[in-house]
Amino acid sequence: MRRDFGYFEEDQLGKPYDLRLLGKLFPYVRPYGLLFLVSIGLVTAITVLDLTLPYLTKVAIDRYIVQDIASDNRADAVQQRFYVADLRRPEIETVVRRYRPFFEVEWPRAKIRYEDLSKLNRADLLELRGRDYAGVARVALIFLGVIIGHFAFSFGHVIIMEYAGQAIMHDLRLSLFRHIQGLSVAFFTRNPVGRLVTRMTSDVQNMHEFFTSIITVLFKDIFLVLGITVVLLVMNWRLALICFLMLPVIFLATSYFSRLARDVFRELRVKLAEINTRLQETIDGIRIVQLFLQEKQNYERFRKLNHENYLAGMRQINIFAVFMPAIEVLGSVTTALVIWYGGGQVLAEMLSLGTLVAFIAYMRMFFRPIRDIAEKYNVMQSAMASSERIFLLLDTRDRIPEPKVPATVTLPSPLKGERLGGGKEAGVSFEHVWFSYVGDEWVLKDISLAVRQGETVAIVGPTGAGKSSLIHLLERFYDPTKGRITLGGVDIRELPKSLLRDRTALITQDVFLFADTIQSNISEGNPALTPERLQEIIAASNIERLIQQLPDGLDTVLMDGGRTLSGGERQLVAFARALARDPEILILDEATSSVDTQTERLIQEATLRLMQNRTAIVVAHRLSTIRHADRIIVLHRGRIRETGTHDELMAKQGLYYQLYQWQTVS
């Protein structure tokens, strides 16, 4: 049997960075376009400040630290380096006279060997190189100002991007939730809840990291790489070309590792979804697991799944354990080339020391964006894998369609909000209805049935006869494969689903209550319920005693699904909820099949009150509960076998008679 169905099938996934996928993200980004533009402006400013720092170092070294150091380049002279002073400054001339043996004077310059500078006392040295010290101080202050500006711009950038990222994820999660609510029941029967939860939680969170981390890094790193490239070429194009020798190797390595990592991240997303699914199934079915002593087997299945997730995670780690050091090695090799070639240029006095220092700083900065991209690559891969699944879900159109032009439909008077009056035209009619869940496996076969307004019709039959399917079609959880269902003479496919379901109330055997107060569960769908009407509903539904026993009465908060209540108590709350909607058509799907005798009596009393002046369709398992029905329809293998009242069907001694006898004997 095929295990996985629907939007998350792996063979539907495309390229890791499909432009169409990025195009689908654009509508969620567009409302915050101004914030992104401001962020890009801040990134540009940050990049300019980053580029300024090494250049300030170059200025400090070349202009104030070693710029005025000259060499004696005479062929017969020993290679020495001298500091050159300007004698036109009186304070310099005073220092030179004081240390005349150390200076060689050639007006208007005087030079002193670099090693002799240490022989001057500190005050004279400060006097001699006062402008250099002042220049270095100015550069240091500018450097500090750049750091402060960098901090301020970075702070603003992070705040803006976090706000935009959170807002985008807020909108995306709401869009997903709204879309999921509109999908058909058939979709949820094919797709595990755990995987849908994964889409809404971890996948959306991965997209948040994409917007707040990746987009930020991407723009900043692109600007930084381009800026460094321009600065290096302007400073010394020959040395810049030496630096760029390793770029083709880096790009080839990045491309190779990206192909390895793509499939690993996809597998990780699948395994995480499967873990969530297994966990959700275990929690929902914990009673069965414990009852049948399946803890060990269930643990082994989860252990195997968890180990597969661990292996996929280790493959990811192994890939980046090679990729990251490889990038570091390539960066170090490039730096070594710069030192080798640039150092030779400095020794040959074809390149200043400040330029070489700045080059090394720029090269370290040049590889920082590449390292950033490498570090964020797992986030990118994970985010792209998540976005594929999110948009595969959003692109799913497995839903019951709304009528294209509902305004053109002439609604019968009951559907316009008036109370039901007499007349056959306001009833429910099944006209040659065929239905199957899968292919040609027909669940209902040529069903033709008319329920008059105000009539109570019971539907009975053995398990698998198609009783619940008939109800599902009437509520438009599914549409008939062939034939049609009409309400007041109008095909229900031509009615808005909201209008159809507003006029009906369905009470099933397995009642679901929300994790909210009793009052909220009763007033669900009718928030304008008055306190007086609420008390009438409580009395009519026989739940007064239940509410009195609860610690906070109507304000008692139920657990998820109403698990703190018994099955019968949940049924009574469901009757109150249905009565609060004041439906015109009441549908009961085996609502008393799993309750005790006392609760069944209370439910029967509530049912009789609820069905007064309403059209009612009752799917019954206990035949004794539907003897009062105006008509009883007997289904068998998807077809109507018998129709009549209880007495008429008993007199025929057919299928209904046999079912009744079996229940009576048992």
Residue 84 within any structural domain of the chain: no
Residue 229 within any structural domain of the chain: yes
* Predicted pLDDT at 431: 93
* Predicted pLDDT at 68: 47
Residue 472 within any structural domain of the chain: yes
Name the H helices within 182-294. Answer: 185-190, 193-198, 204-209, 215-235, 237-243, 247-284, 286-291
Q: Which of the listed residues 354, 378, 394 is the one where a domain comes to its end?
A: 394
| pLDDT tens, position by position, 113-154 | 777 777 888 787 777 777 778 888 899 999 999 999 999 998
Residue 107 within any structural domain of the chain: no
Q: Which of the listed residues 351, 379, 394 is the one where a domain comes to its end?
A: 394
* Predicted pLDDT at 418: 40
Q: What is the DSSP letter of 102?
A: G
Q: In the structure, what pLDDT confidence band is assigned to residue 417 with cuts at 50, 70 and 90?
A: very low
* Predicted pLDDT at 421: 36
**What mean pLDDT do residues 452-477 have?**
89
SS3 of 609, please? Answer: helix
* Predicted pLDDT at 142: 93
Q: Can you tell me which residue has the tokens 């699914």?
A: 277
> How far is residue 513's CA from residue 570's CA, in Å, rounded to a whole number?
7
Residue 413 within any structural domain of the chain: no
Q: Say if residue 433's pLDDT is above 80.
A: yes
**What mean pLDDT do residues 492-506 have?**
85
Quote the pTM value. 0.68
390 touches 176 (CB < 8 A): yes
Q: Say if residue 507's pLDDT is above 50.
A: yes
Q: In the structure, what pLDDT confidence band is assigned to residue 64 with cuts at 50, 70 and 90?
A: confident
Q: Which of 214-228, 415-429, 568-582 has the highest mean pLDDT?
A: 568-582
| pLDDT tens, position by position, 23-53 | 788 888 889 889 888 988 888 899 889 889 8
Q: Say if residue 234's pLDDT is above 90.
A: no
Q: What is the DSSP letter of 422?
A: S
Same domain, 586 and 499: yes
> How far is residue 606's CA from residue 608's CA, in Å, rounded to a whole number?
6
> How far is residue 285's CA from residue 307's CA, in Å, rounded to a whole number?
23
Residue 267 within any structural domain of the chain: yes
* Predicted pLDDT at 378: 62
Q: Say if residue 525's pLDDT is above 70.
A: no
> How far is residue 504's CA from residue 588's CA, in Å, rounded to a whole number?
11
**What mean pLDDT do residues 91-104 have?**
81
CA 181 from chain center: how many Å? 16
> How far is residue 249's CA from residue 329's CA, in Å, rounded to a whole number?
11
Same domain, 440 and 510: yes
Q: Say if residue 228's pLDDT is above 90.
A: no
Instruction: From 100, 94, 124, select the one nearest 112 (Cα to Cα).
Output: 100
Radius of gyration of the chain (CA): 40
540 touches 604 (CB < 8 A): no
SS3 of 517, please? Answer: strand
The CATH number of residue 310's host domain is 1.20.1560.10
Taken in order 570, 576, 578, 584, the sign of the CA dihedral is positive
Residue 247 within any structural domain of the chain: yes
Q: Say if residue 524's pLDDT is above 70.
A: yes
Percent of the chain residues past pLDDT 70, beyond the cut: 87
CA 51 from chain center: how many Å? 36
| pLDDT tens, position by position, 616-640 | 898 887 787 788 889 999 999 899 9
Same domain, 376 and 501: no
Q: Say if residue 478's pLDDT is above 60.
A: yes
Same domain, 390 and 459: no
Same domain, 461 and 379: no
Query: Who's near 240: CB < 8 A, 6+ residues apart?
Result: 229, 232, 233
* Predicted pLDDT at 152: 94
Same domain, 433 and 310: no
Q: In the structure, what pLDDT confidence band is assigned to residue 211 with cuts at 50, 70 and 90?
A: confident
* Predicted pLDDT at 146: 93
* Predicted pLDDT at 2: 36
Q: Which of the listed residues 359, 376, 394 is the one where a domain comes to its end?
A: 394
**What mean pLDDT do residues 248-273 have?**
76
Residue 446 within any structural domain of the chain: yes
**What mean pLDDT do residues 550-572 have?**
81
| pLDDT tens, position by position, 320-379 | 788 778 877 887 888 888 888 888 887 777 888 888 888 888 888 887 777 776 667 667
Token digits of residue 343: 């150092």
> How far is residue 414's CA from residue 420's CA, in Å, rounded to a whole number?
5
Query: Who's near 124: CB < 8 A, 6+ residues apart?
Result: 95, 98, 99
The CATH number of residue 512's host domain is 3.40.50.300
* Predicted pLDDT at 593: 53
State the total domains in the chain: 2
Same domain, 226 and 323: yes
Beta strands 482-487; 428-436: pairing state? antiparallel
415 touches 301 (CB < 8 A): no
Q: Which of 127-141, 157-171, 607-621 has the highest mean pLDDT?
A: 157-171
Same domain, 19 and 138: yes
Same domain, 47 and 155: yes
Domain that holds residue 643: 421-665
Q: What is the DSSP letter of 513?
A: -
Lowest mean pLDDT across 61-75, 435-449, 514-528, 551-565: 61-75
What residue type is assigned to position 10 of the chain? E
> Do you know the residue count of the chain?
666
110 touches 104 (CB < 8 A): yes
Same domain, 147 and 188: yes
Same domain, 368 and 237: yes
SS3 of 46, please? Answer: helix
Whether cis (ω within 30° of 0) applies to the bond prior to 108 is yes
| pLDDT tens, position by position, 306-316 | 998 899 888 88
Same domain, 540 and 427: yes
User: Does residue 538 or residue 445 have the better pLDDT?
Assistant: 445
